[in-house]
Structures are given as structure tokens and as C-alpha cells.
Structure 1
Amino acid sequence: MSIPIEQAYLHCPRCGCKQNDPGHIPFRCADCQFAVFFGPVAAVGGLIVNSADQLLLVRRARNPGKGQWGLPGGFVDRGETVEEALEREVYEETRLQLKARDLLVTHPNQYNYQGVVTEVIDLFYVCRAVDPSHVELEAAELDDYAWVHPSAEYLDNMAFPSNRYAIELWMSQLS
């Protein structure tokens, strides 16, 4: 069973007071007036393109989306820019270093982790890698990759709808 993150707050994180009516945005504690707005949190995705205009897709080795395709990327950490997060996530997952990146689109997403759903805003960049021929996957996160002109075989098996949206937008701009 999945629940929105705002329904997971049963006690105030500041004073510990039990909440009699969880699930509201923002969360407001009746005792201490503390408020939590629940995001969305920021995440990045790289549409990494090679010289043949093929896109790098990676297959997830863990949930959410285990066994499904996606784009290299992840959450923006505290204290880093979106661009720093993009470069860090792409390098951590594929060992590719980026030489160019251009913002393509932003799109809302939901991240369901162990039954708690967090609202996310994804920022997608079209990227070029310094050496796209040397992909090395982070085995704990990814178990396969493919350089493709994305077909229904891949698009119908995407881990996140926002990834598919970004890929389809990118493909529409190629023609």
C-alpha cells in the first residue's frame, strides 16, 4: 500500500505531538505551530546523446522501477546546484563525464519509495559525454544500458512517466 508523504506524518517532527488529522498540506502542528510544506524535492535526469544521436538508457537494478528503463540521474543534494547534481549523478551511475548540458524541460514526478510517495520536480538536460564509449554502471543501482533511438519497446517499460515525457519531447525536436 502506498501513501502520500503528508499522510506519513503522524507526529510533529519538532515537538512530537500526535496529529489527530494527518494528511494536510502544509502539515501544521496544533501545539507548536510548526509547518512542513512537503516539497516537491528536485531531481535531475540526463538525456545523454552520442554522435549517432542515440540516447543512453539505463535499466534499474532496484526499486522503484527495478527491471525498467530510465535516464541516468537522481536527487539534488543539499548545498549543490542542479547542474552539479546532474554531473555527480551521471558520473556515479555511469562513470561518464559531461562536456555539455542544456536544459530541455522540467516535469512533475512521484517517487514511491517503500510505500511513501514523495512529490518531485524533475529537471531534464540534453547532454554530451566526454567519452560516451566507456560506460561503467554502478552495479548497486543499474544492471544494463543501451544506446538507442528509443522505440516503444523501451518507452513502454520506463520506470518513471516523467522520463518518458522528456524522451518523447527530445525525439519530437529531432525531426
Structure 2
Amino acid sequence: MGHTNPNNSRFRFCPSCGKNSLEPDSIKSFKCGQCGFQFFLNCAAAAMAIILDHQNKILVTVRAKDPGKGTLDLPGGFAEPGESIDQALIREVKEELNLDIFDLEFFCSSANTYPYKSVVYPITDMAFTCKVTDFSQILPMDDVSGFRFIPVHDLTPGMFGMNSAQNVIKKFKKTYS
């Protein structure tokens, strides 16, 4: 198959028949040896905001929780059921920083994994450039403990704790310069 299911030891009981017979079937699925039920762990959608202030400094956040607690990140988060990815990003930036973003433009996407409470989730991260008119009401909340504005040329991917943000910063620096 090429890739091992990263959750091969996490899921054992079938959600359909309840038997301890769920086995990894692929990198993203499990199959019950008793009833044949198949369970999929498909990609979750997440979005990140690339926001520049009026001095062309990029807005970065400090993660308040694991994974990556205390490291830099880009504002954003997961889409909830029934949300488009742009609606999710608008909501997440409001929840994390009390900012209203607009003029969202797709920048890039990246495959990622997100380890959370012993389960490894497959993620598709999407980054968008966004605008903010007024930064005066900025306030770190939710899963953000702080924020900074850093000149783009001073950013290095290693400053960020999550691979997805590192990849976005690498690509953004190439296109920005």
C-alpha cells in the first residue's frame, strides 16, 4: 500500500456492531472483520489567513494549546460542518483575534496531519491573503495567547510550530520578494 495508517492502533471497536474487530484497511480507512463495516477518516478542511498591516508586516499568532503550544502560527482553523472554507476563516479570525477580514484570495494549499489527543487527523490546509481595515480592536482569544506583527523579510519557517504554516511562509516569502 505504501503508507501505513497513522491510527492503526487507535480504533479497535466497530461503530456498527461493537465488536473488537476493526482493522486498518488503508491509510485512511478501517474495516470490521465481523460485519464488514468500513470507517473512513477523510481530510478535514482548515484555513489560514495571511494578513499584512499598513507597514507590510505579517500578523502572526501564538498558539495557546497543543499541538505546538507557545509557537507562532497563522490565524485560522478548521471548517465546521455546513461552512464554506472562506466562512470558516472569517469566523476563526473573529474568534481568535476579534478582527473582521475581507477580500479573501486563495494563496495555496497543503496536505498536513494534525495530531490531537492520540489521533492523527489528515488535513487539507488552505491559505488566503486577507485584508483588515481596522486593527484597533485586536484581542487574542480562544486558542490564541498572543499576536505579533513581523516584517515579512524577518520571518523564517522555523519560527512556526506547525508544518502547514512553515510551508505557507516559505511560499509567501518567495512570491512576496
Is the structural similarity TM-score above 0.5?
yes
Aligned to 2:51: 48
Alignment match of 1:34 (pick from 13, 26, 37): 37
SS in 2 for 1:92: helix
Instruction: Point out the more displaced range, 117-126 or 142-151.
Output: 142-151
Aligned to 1:105: 108
- Written as runs of structure 1 = structure 2, the 5 A alignment for 1:87-166 is 87-138=90-141, 140-150=142-152, 155-166=157-168
Question: How much does 1:82 deviate?
Answer: 0.6
SS in 2 for 1:88: helix
Question: How much does 1:134 deviate?
Answer: 2.8
Question: How much does 1:9 deviate?
Answer: 1.1
Distance 1:83 1:153 in 2: 25
Deviation sequence 1:47-99 (CA, Å, 0-9, x none): 11222221110001111111100011111100111111010011100010012
Distance 2:172 2:155 in 1: 17
Distance 1:32 1:74 in 2: 36
Question: How much does 1:24 deviate?
Answer: 2.9
Question: How much does 1:168 deviate?
Answer: 1.7
SS in 2 for 1:100: strand
Alignment match of 2:88 (pick from 80, 85, 88): 85
Q: Which has the higher contact order (CA 8 A, sep 6+)?
A: 1
Question: How much does 1:151 deviate?
Answer: 5.7
User: What amino acid is aligned across from residue 8 of structure 1 in structure 2?
Assistant: R
Instruction: Spell out structure 1 runs of 4+ moving beyond 3 A.
Output: 150-154
Distance 1:30 1:114 in 2: 26
Aligned to 1:76: 79
Q: Is the 8 A contact 1:41 1:119 kept in 2?
A: yes
Question: How much does 1:150 deviate?
Answer: 4.2
Tell me the TM-score normalised to structure 1 length: 0.89
Q: 1:56 to 1:153 in 2, by over 3 A?
A: closer
User: What amino acid is aligned across from residue 83 of structure 1 in structure 2?
Assistant: D
Q: 1:134 to 1:107 in 2, by over 3 A?
A: same
Q: 1:115 to 1:151 in 2, by over 3 A?
A: farther
Number of aligned residue pairs: give it: 171
Distance 2:132 2:37 in 1: 45
User: What amino acid is aligned across from residue 58 of structure 1 in structure 2?
Assistant: T
Residue segments in structure 1 that go unaligned for 5+ positions in a row: none
